Each structure stands twice: as structure tokens, then as C-alpha cells.
């Protein structure tokens, strides 16, 4: 399997006023299919505490008067 890496590059027109973007190939990276597929499909979860804190902040934003306790007790 090959990964083609491109970048956007600003180009100037003949009149030096009109500017456009063009794709420019930067690199080619060769990999084996199975390890690449495993890497793409395997996720690494974050910390549960960070997720709960994020949810609590979203809930607090929706409430007119936020609760006194701004964190959820252990959900498990």
C-alpha cells in the first residue's frame, strides 16, 4: 500500500495578481496493508475522568442555574 502525501502550494498567475492553490506531491510512504488497517481501525480511548468533566461542562452550559456540585460522582 502506498500513501501519497500532498501539500497545497500558492501559485501566481501570469499577471502576478491572480493567486491559486495547486497540489504538489511531497512524499510517498510505502506500508503493508494489514498493519496499516489495524492502525487505522484501532482507537485509543482517552481518560474517563476527562470525558466525564467534558460532559459535565456541557450540562452546566445548558442549565440556567448550574448545580452546586460541578462534578459527577464516580459513575461506576
46-71 tens-digit pLDDT: 899 999 999 988 888 877 665 666 56
**5, 25 Cβ separation under 8 angstroms:** yes
Percent of the chain at pLDDT > 70 equals 75
Residues 28, 61 share a domain: no
CA distances from 65 to 11, 31, 33, 59 (A): 53, 54, 53, 11
Domain with 62 in it: 45-76
Q: Are residues 3 and 38 in the same domain?
A: yes
pTM: 0.43
Instruction: Tell me the C-alpha to C-alpha distance, in Å, between residue 20 and each of 1, 4, 15, 28, 75.
Output: 31, 22, 12, 24, 53
Cell 493567486 appears where?
Answer: 19
Q: What is the pLDDT of residue 65?
A: 66
How confident is the model over 7-43, as pLDDT tens digits? 999 887 666 667 788 999 999 999 999 998 998 898 8
Identify whether residues 11 and 33 lie together within a single domain. yes
Q: Which of 25, 20, 19 is nearest to 2 (CA)?
A: 25
Amino acid at each position: 500500500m502506498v500513501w501519497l502525501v500532498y501539500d497545497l502550494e500558492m501559485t501566481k498567475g501570469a499577471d502576478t495578481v491572480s493567486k491559486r492553490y495547486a497540489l504538489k506531491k511531497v512524499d510517498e510512504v510505502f506500508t503493508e496493508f494489514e498493519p496499516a488497517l489495524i492502525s487505522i481501525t484501532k482507537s485509543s480511548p482517552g481518560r474517563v475522568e476527562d470525558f466525564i468533566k467534558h460532559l459535565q461542562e456541557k450540562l452546566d452550559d445548558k442549565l440556567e442555574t448550574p448545580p452546586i456540585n460541578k462534578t459527577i460522582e464516580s459513575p461506576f
